[in-house]
Amino acid sequence: MPSRPVRRRNPPRAVAHDPAVGTEVELETTGVAHGGIMVARHEGRVVFVADAIPGERVRARVTEAKSSFWRADTLEVLEASPHRREHVWSEASVTRDPEGRAGGAEFGHIELAHQRELKRQVAADALARIGRIDDAPDFTVQALPGGDDAAGTGWRTRVTLHVAPDGTVGPYAARSHTVIPVSSLPLAVPELAAIAPLTERLGDAASVDLIAPAEGPLQIVTARDGSRPPLAAITERVGDREFALEALGFWQVHRLAAATLTGAVQRAIDADAFDPRAANLDLYGGVGLLAAAVGDRFGQATRITSVESYESATDFAARNLAEWVGARAVTGRVEQWVRGRAENATATERGRQRAATIVLDPPRAGAGTEVVAELVSTEPAQVVYVACDPVAFARDAKAFAAAGYAIRSLEAFDLFPNTHHVELVARLSRD
């Protein structure tokens, strides 16, 4: 995946020009919506409320007013949920003015077990309401080992800090590009929190990336004038296997996420439907993590092609997959590559495509109807879908279902404690 682009510094926060904006209202929250916000109603209008919990009564300030809904920030909790706790990040607490709250820990005021239940509800609602899937397997959102011991903190191995025009370093405020000065980074692994330049002034910088690889020294990458310095390779580890990648290349953020997803993908594949000689695929393959998971389960002779649009990642994937004689890594946009694969296949290749297992790990927006249509046109034996957004997954699952591919297994993981994000791993196949 490409390195993250340098963002513009502190563009103005968008504010709807409506008399309701700035109004303070009392609200009773009744549910949770995708994106880490809660749902309430005011005089019949839906209001999406930040920093609340279902079942609470809060005083909130309207920040956006449209004809169909409002958005609001919690100012005061009038009747608290039994699941509310002191926020794990004091600089994101509801006790601060909303515009001065650090973003990136929007569930930090909720007990961990209830966070996971809310994430489950969001994913289940998306499958039912958006995916129109009423027979999805039951699932819970699983905690990663040791996560609850530290209240869901100390897990981020990658942190991006931004720099304000005056040189202040910090995270963005929630839902804005305003840099918030902070004195702590509780979600970061301790070694990154210790080196973060939170008290410095970096007037000539745009952002600072902190990386804690599994092997080697910590990395600090500062972007200046829209550019970053040349990046050295780093080494990550999953069990006994090493993966080389660019310092700012895509890698799972939680220190245990790569190992967790490796195991989940291996479990999801139906061994009876897997053919090591088929035209197996790892799409949006990055540096080869999930292709390696397949190869480790089914042996060195496994045929699998990893497809990734970012050339540097593909180069690393070729190195990381070198021990599998049937593995290869290619650079290409997935939607274009799968279209050409289907259009140009010989009769023998079409047979291998029908026998294929496809691992699909798209970006947050999902694979999309075009990619799904090309994949199902080749009638693969099974698809293992790794999803970082439940709504995008639900849309894609609906497209798969229209072609007869139902969800046969489903696991969910809390790879991002104290945020609203959740990771899903599903297997889809036809009867």
Binding site members for S-adenosyl-L-methionine: 252, 284, 308, 361
Q: Determine the Cα–Cα distance for residues 152 and 150; give it in Å rounded to an integer.
A: 5
Q: Determine the Cα–Cα distance for residues 422 and 410; give it in Å rounded to an integer.
A: 13
Between the CA of residue 381 and those of 74, 278, 301, 358, 428, what are the distances in Å? 48, 10, 19, 8, 9
* From 180, 234, 292, 388, active-site residue: 388
Answer yes or no: 388 catalytic.
yes
What are the E-state strand segments in 164-310? 169-170, 207-211, 219-223, 233-238, 241-246, 280-283, 304-308
Q: Determine the Cα–Cα distance for residues 36 and 27; give it in Å rounded to an integer.
A: 17
Residue 358 in contact with residue 405, Cβ under 8 Å? Answer: no
Strands 158-163, 57-65: pairing kind = unpaired
Q: Which residues contact 349 (CB under 8 A, 6 or more apart)?
A: 279
- Within 257-305, residue ranges assigned H as helices are 257-268, 289-298
SS3 83: coil
Q: Determine the Cα–Cα distance for residues 411 and 267; give it in Å rounded to an integer.
A: 10
Q: How far is CA 262 from the centre of its chain?
A: 16
Q: Determine the Cα–Cα distance for residues 104 and 81; give it in Å rounded to an integer.
A: 22
Q: Determine the Cα–Cα distance for residues 291 and 358; give it in Å rounded to an integer.
A: 10
Interhelix angle 390-402/369-377, rounded to 10 degrees, is 40
CA atoms within 13 A on the CB side of 86: 1
Q: Which of 222, 261, 255, 225 is nearest to 237 (CA)?
A: 255
Q: Which of 315, 260, 319, 312 is nearest to 290 (CA)?
A: 260
Between the CA of residue 281 and those of 87, 274, 285, 334, what are the distances in Å? 42, 12, 9, 11
337: its two tokens: 């590559």
Binding residues: 252, 284, 308, 361
Per residue in 228-240, is it b (16+ CB within 10 Å) or e — as a string? beebeebebebee
Which active-site residues does the annotation give? 388
